[in-house]
Structure formats: C-alpha cells, structure tokens
Amino acid sequence: MFIMNKVYSLYESIQEKGYKLTEHRKTILDVLIENEDYLLEPSEIFEKILRKNKNINFSTIYRNLEIFVHSGIVRKINLDDGKSSYQIIFEDQHIHSMICKKCGRVEALKGCPFEKIDMKEIEKKGFRPDSHKFEIYGFCKECLSNKKC
C-alpha cells in the first residue's frame, strides 16, 4: 500500500505541473521505480521498456525524463563521462548519495554535509544558497568484491 501512495504522489506531481499522465509516462515511471536504487541512462531505460514489449521510441523517453526532472520527481546526475543518468525521487526527499561508477548503484548518505558548512563564510561573500547537491563517486562493495573495477 505504501508504494502505491508513493506512485500516486508521483502521478499527482506530474499533473500539477500541467502534464498529462500518458501510458508512456507511466511505463517510464514504472521502470524508474523498479530500479529506484540505481542511476539509469536513457538507453538503459529504453532497453528495459523494450523487454516489456512496449511500443515507445527513444526520443519519447528522453523528452519525458526532462519533464520528470522539471516536475521534481526525477533527478538528473551528470557523470564524469559526460553522460546523464536519472533516478526517481519520492516526495520531499533530500538526497546525498554514494554512486558506484561501475554498476550505477546509488546509496543515500545519512545526514547532510551542507549542515557542516560555515554559513558565515558564504554570507560574507554576499551569496544566498537556495539548493545544493552532494555526491560521492567510487565503487560499491559488490563491484569491489567481484573485482569489476
């Protein structure tokens, strides 16, 4: 039941931004929800959707991912290799992550490193932050133990 409430909340977020909830959008969201612990590139999302025999093209996936980012239900991560990957985020999540560069697994950090920053230093420079993100890139224990990296 809890997961269904989260899914309906995602649907509402899209509709509140003025977008229709199409079957293609539901399918893309389903794949992102099924892989919520991983970053997925658009091509990986496309492959997973095709395995379900869905009639969708790559440009539809890419265009809808940008709509989801704009709606605040998906985060876009630009990796070191220049590629963008995506992950579903649920309502009011403030996420800082450890990201495996090999398998794409994402693990949330407890707490917020931003809280440890001296705000007086930022204020002295006349800057007022309104958002931030923090990611650590490396290799997860599974990839390290399998000597994949």
* 58-71 and 2-16 helices, crossing angle to 10°: 90
> Rounded to whole angstroms, how far apart are CA atoms 94 and 96?
7
Q: In which band, very low, low, confident or very high, does the pLDDT at 106 lie, cut at 50, 70 and 90?
A: confident
**Looking at residue 31, what is its pLDDT?**
94
**Looking at residue 149, what is its pLDDT?**
65
Phi first, then psi: give them for residue 112, nearest 5 degrees.
-125, 115
Task: For residue range 109-128, list pLDDT tens digits in order.
Answer: 777 777 778 888 888 989 98
Q: Order of strands across the sheet with 106-108?
A: 106-108, 97-100, 135-138
> Rounded to whole angstroms, how far apart are CA atoms 40 and 22?
21
> Rounded to whole angstroms, how far apart are CA atoms 110 and 25?
31
> Rounded to whole angstroms, how far apart are CA atoms 52 and 76?
24
Q: In which band, very low, low, confident or very high, does the pLDDT at 63 lie, cut at 50, 70 and 90?
A: very high
Residue percentage of the chain with pLDDT more than 90: 30
CB 74 within 8 A of CB 89: yes
34 or 131, higher pLDDT = 34
